[in-house]
Amino acid sequence: MHESERFHALDAVRGFALLAGVTLHAAVAFLPSEVPLWPAMDDSRSVELAVLFYVLHVFRMTVFFLIAGFFARMSLERRGLASFAWDRIKRIGLTFAIFWPLVFASLIAVIVWNAAAANGGTIPDGPPPPPMTVETFPLTHLWFLYLLLWFYPAMLVLRGLGRLVDGQGRVAALLDRLVRLSVGGWTPILPALAVALVMCLDPEWRMWFGVRTPDFGLIPNPAALSAFGLAFAIGWMVHRQQDLLAVWARRWAFLILLGAGFSAAGLAIVGLEPTLDKAPTDGTQIAYAVIYGLAVWGWTLGLIGAAVRFLSGHSPARRYVADAAYWIYLVHIPVVMAAEVLVARLDLPWTVKFPMVLGGSLLVLFASYQLLVRHSFIGRFLSGRKKPAKAKAAAVPELEPA
């Protein structure tokens, strides 16, 4: 398989992982939880959407960070160190700095609107929000960009140290063999055990929600740094031995069945309704953590393998969706939450409301991309492209996830 074909497949998965996040956040309002998980919770709740949320949450960020690591090394090899670092500062660091205040302000506006709508047009009195500190800083869903700002320098430092002390490449060769052992067999047991370990060591672990995401705080929690950093590092190392993608492509069905089976086993333990209860200490959490880790890596390798197997050809439609996905994910939360507020007081079942929220949000988001972003300086900034779209179509595109 030609290298560019693999890149088209991985870019399709990247777009899918980002759009899966839109679906996940559209479903939160309908989860059958006894505690409010979201500012705009709906009266119509759904166990089916809880299962969908659970499964998407198992794999989507691990898939994203693995592909991010793969394309990061690809970009570094193509650009060189200085150009790569400057590109990451612009497309990740500057994007975070620009979009975070816009997204945060929009979220606050929608939350205030929701509170007023739920109280007859008046905003109820309540305690003031906590002050922003290093521990409480609200990263929102843009925490994925913030983690990348940790991972890129970390990998560059490790790469530099490796070249300094491993002139003959023995350590690199050993790491290659370890990666092949970890994700080149039928069962990705080693990364699964690593995920299980970091979850069990997290004192704030809520079992139903898997790896604790670093939504708050400028110092990411160790579980997220470790679990998602491992995925990023594996993606980086897989770029060194891309035949592993062909291995996953041959075993895609088995790996997806592995992920689905262990997801079902995990739900059998924690139940279909989300809970914020902390993990018990009776041994159940260990078994569940291993099951969850196997679900994470079964889905991750299986979905990437399926994409390499079936989506390696160039597709203008998939390319368009992949291009739009970055913008859509950056700005989607306020749009989705606003849609949830709009339908919250309609006397309709979730089977009607959820498609309204998801479909309406995607319509607005794709329209905003087409009309405001795709052919504007915003699109050029987010994609990192300098050439017009038609001139770039024949070339291998810049596919590294932003």
Residue 28: what residue type?
V
What does the pLDDT read at residue 1?
57
| pLDDT, the chain, mean | 91
Residue % of the chain over a pLDDT of 70: 94
What does the pLDDT read at residue 281?
85
Does 105 have pLDDT greater than 70? yes
- How much is the average pLDDT of 209-223? 96
Does 395 have pLDDT greater than 80? no
Structure confidence by residue, pLDDT tens digits, 260-279: 999 999 999 999 999 999 99
Structure confidence by residue, pLDDT tens digits, 298-310: 999 999 999 999 9
What does the pLDDT read at residue 398?
44
- How much is the average pLDDT of 171-192? 94
- How much is the average pLDDT of 170-188? 93
Does 393 have pLDDT greater than 70? no
What does the pLDDT read at residue 53?
97
The confidence band for 349, taking pLDDT boundaries of 50, 70 and 90, is very high
Residue % of the chain over a pLDDT of 90: 80
Does 142 have pLDDT greater than 50? yes
Q: Any idea where the domains of the chain sit in the sequence?
A: 3-120+135-171+209-252+308-392
- How much is the average pLDDT of 195-209? 96
Does 399 have pLDDT greater than 60? no
- How much is the average pLDDT of 12-25? 94
What does the pLDDT read at residue 6?
77
Does 17 have pLDDT greater than 70? yes
What does the pLDDT read at residue 390?
46
Q: What pTM was computed for the model? A: 0.93
